[in-house]
Amino acid sequence: MGYFEGNELEENRRHPDLLIFDLSCIVAATDNFSPINKLGQGGFGSVFKGQLSNGQQVAVKRLSNSSRQGIDEFKNEVMLIAKLQHRNLVKLFGCCIQGEEKMLIYE
């Protein structure tokens, strides 16, 4: 399916629905972060639409490399968002952490 489940987020065991995606899967889903797939840009990075190999539509928030957020802060944010569920909020589907790349994947 293009993702692997969690060695990088120790807390993932507490949130089995949170997926850890491989960077190559996200690159393929967004057509290498094509400008055509860009939905917007904010202070923390850009958002792209994508489609996973299984047909699932996703939104990918690619955090800017200039963001001062470290890996521990990013992991904490992911786990906090994963715990929040409300009908008016977009559901966090998973994340991608590889090298300098940090991304949130939303349904």
Q: Which residues does the annotation place in the binding site?
A: 61
Say if strands 45-51 and 38-42 run parallel, antiparallel, or are unpaired.
antiparallel
Q: How far apart are CA 66 and CA 25, in angstroms?
A: 23
Phi/psi of residue 72, nearest 5 degrees: -65, -40
Q: Which residues does the annotation place in the binding site for ATP?
A: 61
